[in-house]
Amino acid sequence: MSHFRLFATAPRGLENLLRDELHALGATDAREQRAGVAFNGGLALAYRACLWSRVANRILLPLAEFPAGDADALYRGVRELDWERHLSADGTLAVEVTGVRSAIGHSRYAAQRVKDAVVDQFRERYGQRPSVDTERPSIRINVHLVQDQATLALDLSGDSLHRRGYREPGVAAPLKENLAAAVLLRGGWPEIAAAGGPLLDPMCGSGTLLIEAAWIAGDVAPGLLRTYFGFLGWRQHDAVVWKTLVDEALERQEAGECRVPPIVGYDRDAAAVRGAIDNVRRAGLSGIVHVERRELGRAEPPVGRAPGLVAVNPPYGERLDDAQALIPLYARLGDSLRQHFAGWQAVVLTGADAELGLKPERGWTVYNGAIRCRLERFRIAAQSQDAPSAPATDLVNRLRKNRRSLSGWLKRSGVSCYRLYDADIPEYALAVDVYGTVEGDWLHVQEYAPPRSVNPADARARLRAALTAIPQALDVSPDRMAYKLRQRQKGGDQYGKQGHGGRYLEVREGPCRLLVNLTDYLDTGLFLDHRPVREFLGAQAEGKRVLNLFCYTGAATVHAALGGARATDSVDLSKTYLEWAARNLHLNGVDVRRHQVHRADCRAWLASGRGGPYDLIFLDPPSFSNSKRMDGTLDVQRDHVELILNAARMLTPDGLLIFSTNLRRFRLDQTALTGLTVEDRTRWSIPPDFRRNPRIHQCWFIRP
């Protein structure tokens, strides 16, 4: 039987796992290289690798190496091979080209030249040529270009081996199957399964880890369901050898089914659970793998079983702000492992910059596609030894105390969205807001950046403890808590997206229905500390014309419109927030012909005197803005006199301008506001839920 040089490719970081796997399959000389393993063997070993490798992407049969400084040299090098040994004239082919600093800059052009070289050879010899089939060709040619050198190979796998054959066509999983297998191998699953230990994935998604775990434990060849390999149309294919290997794999599958220990998957998302159950069925594991809908906090080990392995690939964002939003989820995962899985092992694959609060036993860098990830293995100690250093008891007590002290006012006022906690305890530098929606309470938690004097590890430990404790203390599902890191914004960053949840919730404020978004932006769409001003505008607006400058999402405009305002104008530069304001107006059935939104620079609007006179003007500018859509910059300390004077000129003789700012160091230049009556209404404007922090904003009533 022929002896071949072979090369198995794998995701970066998994080369040593693949080497060990190939040794176990019979390769005696497997050698790690970048992104793969080189080995030698006969046809049976090549077939066995295609059928049994859980880690490899592809099994390649190198045919030639030659200089390829340009496309013509590539053509000549390919043309020199005798392609009749591999392909018939009436067969089909496909070409895939990859490169590293290649002298040939366009991979598609390089693939075209390789194809031309093959078909031209057949045309000259037989007057006919093979055709191209990119889906299931007779042979798939792989060309790897490194600078001016080319390596030409046949792809015996035909398609990436991570495609096991049980997933619906066209449906991709966030976690590729061969990476899932690597996670389990790093976690010691083969040994745990052999000892009868169970496996549990508390965030199973489409079930990839569950299926790979069952196949490993049950000695199922991962390629057994595949109906296509690249060698099936190859002229040197030996069907007898292949059938022998498949028959052997079927026998091993039948014998191994009874050895699979309990494998359980949970997920909070009903659609994910349905998809996982479908995949389990197509993988031939119905009745062997159990999947059900269950929240992370309710994940528990199978009753009466020895400790096993928790394997989980929690979600992670490619953007930094996405990763920050996942900090509470990782804190809950770590807490769940401590509480329910003492004595177990855990293996976690994550691309997020978030911690579980557990010390890993081992760690590896791996790649999920282009995403650099961290794979960590843990031994879960008894809870008393591995408990978080800050259980946040003092924070819980303060939250409950604040809620009791506000309860009477909340009941009398009907307020459902309020601040419950604002860094009351220095060790927990958080703001906690409650948003009472039509679905029930949601929590919005913002962390203030800790001072440099605070040890970062201590700050992270306290944050994890707090994010675990807060929803429990307030009897709110952890899935209804949004978390953000609050830090100084620059320029127009207040308009930038912080996440991609896209979910808007409806809340009530007096007679108004308003939309908030707790996840996607730094602010939620409703400044809670301005509630008294909005209510005042609603009470005073009947029959009046109202101007809302820097209107944000238009909450103050809605109050004025429902209060009977004759007409309103809402002005802002942000398209996002103006669309939000329009949605708020529509939600309340407001006539948009009389209550209009305008995308404009508020300073230019005031300087032009456009739209006046007004009976009521609300002027709440940002502290600073350098938006590209405005001329120059806006600095509220520098520019407030100009803003106030221009706004005052647009008032009716008995009109009222309400000016406010959240800049804590702001000083009103009252001497420059000659001819105006200025009344400091800051104390009145701060609602009971913000009185622990009287510097939250400043407010003045200004009249002509």
Contact 141, 155 (CB under 8 A): yes
Number of Cβ within 10 Å of residue 649's Cβ equals 13
Does 408 share its domain with 465? yes
Q: Which domain CATH number covers 428?
A: 3.30.750.80
C-alpha 644 chain-centroid distance? 43
Distance CA 231, CA 630 (A): 63
To which H or E segment does residue 93 belong? strand 92-100
216, pLDDT greater than 90 = yes
95, pLDDT greater than 80 = yes
Report pLDDT for 172. 67
Report pLDDT for 99. 83
Where residue 388 falls among pLDDT bands split at 50, 70, 90?
very low
Does 214 share its domain with 313? yes
Does 313 share its domain with 412? no
Distance CA 627, CA 631 (A): 8
Mean pLDDT across the stretch 557-578? 97
Distance CA 382, CA 384 (A): 6
Do you know the residue count of the chain? 704
Strand partners, 131: 92
pLDDT tens digits along 459-469:
888 898 999 99
Mean pLDDT across the stretch 537-554? 98
Report pLDDT for 469. 92
CA dihedral 286, 292, 298, 299 (to 10 degrees): 30
Asked whether residue 358 is assigned to any structural domain, the reply reads yes
3-state secondary structure of 295: coil
pLDDT tens digits along 174-188:
899 999 999 999 999
Q: Which domain CATH number covers 17?
A: 3.30.2130.30
Asked whether residue 516 is assigned to any structural domain, the reply reads no
Task: Provide the strand spans (E) within 459-613.
Answer: 481-486, 505-509, 512-516, 545-549, 567-572, 595-599
In the chain, the N- to C-terminal Cα span, in Å, equals 101
365 burial class (0-12, 13-18, 19+ CB within 10 angstroms)? exposed
Asked whether residue 572 is assigned to any structural domain, the reply reads yes
Does 295 share its domain with 438? no
Contact 377, 386 (CB under 8 A): no
Domains in the chain, number: 4
Cα separation values, 375 from 59, 185, 311, 347, 582, Å: 25, 11, 11, 7, 46
Cα dihedral sign for 318, 320, 324, 325? Answer: negative
Cα separation values, 38 from 24, 58, 521, 544, Å: 15, 12, 49, 81
The rounded radius of gyration (Å) of the Cα atoms in the chain is: 33
Question: Where a domain ends, among 323, 356, 382?
Answer: 382
Contact 589, 567 (CB under 8 A): no
Q: What is the mean pLDDT of the chain?
A: 91
Question: Where a domain ends, among 328, 354, 382?
Answer: 382
To which H or E segment does residue 375 belong? strand 371-379
Give me the residue label for tokens 């000549």: 76
To which H or E segment does residue 281 belong? helix 270-282
To which H or E segment does residue 250 belong? helix 239-256
Does 667 share its domain with 536? yes
Beta pairing, strands 677-680 & 698-703: antiparallel
C-alpha 50 chain-centroid distance? 33
Q: Which domain CATH number covers 299?
A: 3.40.50.150
Does 483 share its domain with 566? no
Quote the tokens at residue 175: 């976690």
pLDDT tens digits along 279-301:
999 999 999 999 999 999 899 99
Does 7 share its domain with 141? yes
Report pLDDT for 9. 96
Asked whether residue 230 is assigned to any structural domain, the reply reads no
Does 398 share its domain with 429? yes
Does 671 share its domain with 563? yes
Question: Where a domain ends, among 487, 515, 539?
Answer: 487
Does 140 share its domain with 189? no
Report pLDDT for 171. 66
Contact 606, 650 (CB under 8 A): yes
Amino acid at 272: A
To which H or E segment does residue 533 belong? helix 531-540
Asked whether residue 303 is assigned to any structural domain, the reply reads yes
Over the range 277-308, which residues count as b (16 or more CB within 10 Å of their CB) and which as e? bbbbebbbbeebbbbeebebbebebeeeeebb
3-state secondary structure of 344: coil
Does 363 share its domain with 401? no
Asked whether residue 151 is assigned to any structural domain, the reply reads yes
Beta pairing, strands 614-619 & 651-661: parallel
Mean pLDDT across the stretch 436-446? 93
Instruction: Tell me the HSE value of 358 on the side-chain side, using a 13 A CA sphere.
Output: 31
Where residue 630 falls among pLDDT bands split at 50, 70, 90?
low
3-state secondary structure of 289: strand
629, pLDDT greater than 80 = no
Cα separation values, 24 from 21, 27, 53, 308, Å: 5, 7, 10, 24
Amino acid at 295: E
Quote the tokens at residue 56: 């490899």
Percent of the chain clearing pLDDT 90 (strictly above)? 77
This prediction has a pTM of: 0.82
Strand partners, 38: 7, 31
500, pLDDT greater than 70 = no
Distance CA 649, CA 660 (A): 18
Mean pLDDT across the stretch 9-23? 95
**Residue 503's closest CA among 472, 533, 525?**
525
Does 299 share its domain with 200? yes
Asked whether residue 599 is assigned to any structural domain, the reply reads yes
Report pLDDT for 460. 84
pLDDT tens digits along 299-357:
999 888 889 999 999 987 654 445 667 888 998 999 899 989 999 999 999 887 778 88
**Residue 341's closest CA among 314, 288, 293, 378?**
378
Number of Cβ within 10 Å of residue 477's Cβ equals 14
Asked whether residue 645 is assigned to any structural domain, the reply reads yes
Domain that holds residue 105: 3-155
384, pLDDT greater than 50 = no
Alpha helices in 555-703 (DSSP H): 555-562, 575-587, 602-608, 636-649, 682-685
Where residue 417 falls among pLDDT bands split at 50, 70, 90?
very high
